[in-house]
Amino acid sequence: MPSGSTQFRYTQTPSKVLHLRNMPWESTEEELVELCKPFGRVVNTMCNVGANRNQAFVEFADQNQAISMVSYYASSSEPAQVRGKTVYIQYSNRQEITNNKGTGDSSGNVLLVTFEGVQPNDVSIDVIHLVFSAFGFVHKIATFEKAAGFQALIQYTDAPTALEAKNSLDGRSIPRYLLAQHVSICHLRITFSAHKDLNIKFQSHRSRDYTNPYLPVNPTAIEGIAQPMLGSDGKIKEPESNVLLASIENMQYAVGVDVLHTVFSSFGAVRKIAMFEKNGGMQALIQYPGDVDWPRCSFAVICSLCC
């Protein structure tokens, strides 16, 4: 198995829950259990998740059983397969699978996110967009303050995409390097909202409609924060930052952290790299020092600047 893929797996924190990618979309729970049972007792599963229904989660009774499965396929010359398709296995961010059946927490396409440990202006709407866009196209974001604290409504295209984001981020923290210097930690508590389509009337630092770039900017909503710049085409022009979002397409071989570091180090010192999956493809965040002088060049991967 390519070393880049192995490195990616071992940089993750072990969990008794495994995340499986590239599953056949019509695969069943029985097939998932059959793949995993040689390594231990499976106590819970979640099949056909993600926008393409090609992902799954499996929870073992013990973390050592999950470690055994990941270690086996990381070192084996024979990949894990379901219906002849190679399945990629990694540790999940979660420690257990929580099924929403019977809990009253009905799934939908809009998430209600509570940001714990921060004040209302400590987390920008651009950081929120960057974090949640890792799981699918974000249509709209509205932030507000309630008794529960600083909150946001985040609208996705469909319920499966919102469910994937919720399962991956609920209980997690926003990466420290995306937060203001005075903020030490920001926990995410996520539930589903009853909303289906958010009514965003203005683009501002508190609300955005990413489907309508011609929506007017509300100057009274800026409150000292820089107004979004508009390009010649009328679309919002995001300012440059020291973090790149790279979409890795048409891979002819496994691309891992080491490969990305080699490519992007050609243009400056790389501080951090984080890899994740979005809509069945791989993406990465690459952080440079804040004073980097951006090169104007093309890569083998498609890159765009993010706030």
Three-state SS for 235-283 is CEECCCCCEEEEEECCCCCCCCHHHHHHHHHHHCCCCEEEEEEECCEEE
Residues 81 and 182 in one domain: no
> Worst-scoring range by mean pLDDT, 60-64, 162-166, 174-178, 292-296?
292-296
pLDDT for 247 equals 78
Mean of the per-residue pLDDT values of the chain: 78
Please check the confidence at residue 235 and state whether its pLDDT lies above 70.
no
Identify whether residues 123 and 48 lie together within a single domain. no
Residue 234: how many other CB atoms lie within 10 Å? 9
116 in the same domain as 79: no
| Domain membership flag for residue 104 | no
What is the CATH classification number for the domain harbouring 181?
Answer: 3.30.70.330
In a shared domain, residues 159 and 116: yes
Q: What is the CA radius of gyration of the chain?
A: 20
Beta bridge partners of 31: none
Q: Percent of the chain at pLDDT above 90?
A: 25
Q: Say whether both 69 and 116 belong to one domain.
A: no
CB of 243 closer than 8 Å to CB of 303: no
Question: Using one digit for the tens of pLDDT, what is the confidence trace for 71-88?
Answer: 999 888 899 999 999 999
Q: Is residue 1 part of a domain?
A: no
**pTM score, whole prediction:** 0.43
Task: Identify whether residues 83 and 117 lie together within a single domain.
Answer: no
9, part of any domain: no
pLDDT tens-digit map of 163-209: 999 988 988 999 888 888 888 889 999 999 888 899 888 888 889 99
Q: Which two tokens stand for residue 157?
A: 């295209």
* 227 domain residue, yes or no: no
Q: Is 102 inside a domain boundary? A: no
What range does the domain containing 29 cover? 17-91
114 and 84 together in one domain? no
Range from 1-5, 20-24, 64-68, 164-168 that averages highest in pLDDT: 64-68
Asked if residue 3 belongs to a domain, the reply is no
Please indicate, yes or no, whether residues 76 and 145 belong to a single structural domain of this protein. no
Are residues 82 and 134 both part of a single domain?
A: no
Q: Is residue 67 part of a domain?
A: yes
Q: Is 73 helix (H, G, I), strand (E, B) or coil?
A: helix
CA torsion through residues 122, 124, 128, 133, sign: negative
One domain for residues 145 and 190: yes
As a whole number of angstroms, the distance between CA 204 and CA 172 comes to: 26
Geometric angle at alpha carbon 169, from 42 and 135, rounded to 5°: 95
Q: Please tell me whether residues 174 and 116 are part of one structural domain.
A: yes
Question: What does the alpha-carbon distance between residue 8 and residue 258 come to, in Å, rounded to a whole number?
Answer: 9
Q: Is residue 6 part of a domain?
A: no
The number of domains in the chain is: 3
Cα–Cα distances (Å) from 286 to 166, 219, 238, 240, 261, in that order, read 24, 33, 17, 13, 9
**Cα 68-73-79 angle, rounded to 5 deg:** 150
